[in-house]
Copies of this chain bind each other. A is one copy, B any other.
Amino acid sequence: LDEEAMTTIQGRLDSLTKPQGSLGQLETLAKQLGGIQRTSSPKILKKAVLLMAGDHGVVEEGVSAFPQEVTPQMAYNIMSGGAAINVLTRQAKADVFLTDVGIAFPLEGDIIHKRVANGTKNMAKGPAMTRQEALQALLVGAEVAAEKIQAGYNLFATGELGIGNTTPSSAIVALLTNSSVEDVVGRGTGIDDAGLIRKRSAIEKAIEVNQPDATDALDVLTKVGGLEIAAIAGSILQAAASHVPFVIDGFISTAGALIAAKLAPKSTAYMIPSHGSVEIGHCKALAGLGLDPVLNLNMRLGEGTGAAITFYIVEAALHILEEMATFADAGVSEKSN
């Protein structure tokens, strides 16, 4: 990040008519945006949720409350504008771009076609994908981000869709944050107690069978990851390389962000936290990235919903930086020492 721009912004923030630092995370966000855009007057031009979709062979193990057909059904719902993410991006005046990175069934319609495979394989029995597929899915994310940056977008949010995807996310978070499986496995879309036991067991089997190397994020992604999770990581890495910030949504998105952070640690400087999910592993994942969520909404939907709401807060930070009066302008006395 550009230290000079951030210093200039800090100076301006301290001259505004408020106690120094009293706008907390809004001030931090204004500085971060300036550092990323390498200017003391950061601007948001166009914003989008890059929503990556993929299926998961591990659903065979009975790890999800919803059947796998819901992935394509929800993809169509998003294409026709009826999903929560459509509602929240309309409110945010943002776009949502849905990419098929590997849904198990082929789809038609307003979706970016970048299918790497018909979903992953069952990780409880062997690797979720090949290393080649993992790399290809990372590149899908990078390509989509590059294309949208080219089209003038300069603020992104992660989003994802894929029945079963809290299971690989839990495996990733357990391995990359050195946490126990129990501490990072939650109820996803709402599985019951028996399902929770099956889910933990599937993750433990996947780790046992595949022996992923926790020091090699690509190995973790290949063996216990997901195609859409890889694409999320790839999109973040491309955006960071192009000096474009990324708002990180919930648990699955944060698993993708962890992969990105392990592959390129400097990419964390381009990440903006959004909400703290109900999914119990989310706080471990966020802590692994050093991110403190700004929203506390007890959400657990995914799709990018928490991140889309956060766009408003990022914009608030820039409005504060641009529009507030200084102590000198307004003739307000400064703090006594």
Task: Point out residues on A near B: beta carbons under 8 Å.
Answer: 16-26, 65-67, 69-70, 73-74, 76-77, 80, 82-84, 86-88, 90-91, 189-190, 276, 278, 292-301, 305, 309, 312-313, 315-316, 319-320, 323-325, 329-336
Contact = CB atoms under 8 A, between A and B. Distances in A.
A324 B18 contact: no
Contacts of A77: 17, 325, 330, 332
Contacts of A82: 17, 323-325, 329-330
A293 B24 CA distance: 15
Given A17-B83, A21-B190, 14 more contacts: A18-B301, A19-B66, A22-B299, A22-B301, A24-B299, A25-B298, A26-B299, A66-B335, A73-B332, A74-B332, A86-B323, A90-B319, A295-B313, A309-B316
Q: How many copies does the complex hold?
A: 2
A77 B70 CA distance: 53
Contacts of A69: 333
Interface of A is mostly: loop
Contacts of A316: 87-88, 91, 309
Contacts of A190: 19-22, 335
A331 B73 contact: yes
Contacts of A22: 189-190, 299-301
B332 A70 contact: yes
A336 B26 contact: no
A207 to B, nearest CB: 26
B23 A305 contact: yes
B294 A76 contact: no
A313 B299 CA distance: 13
A330 B76 contact: yes
A336 B332 CA distance: 62
19 contacts: A18-B83, A20-B190, A23-B297, A23-B301, A26-B297, A69-B333, A70-B333, A73-B330, A73-B331, A76-B331, A82-B330, A83-B324, A83-B325, A87-B320, A87-B323, A91-B319, A190-B335, A295-B296, A309-B316
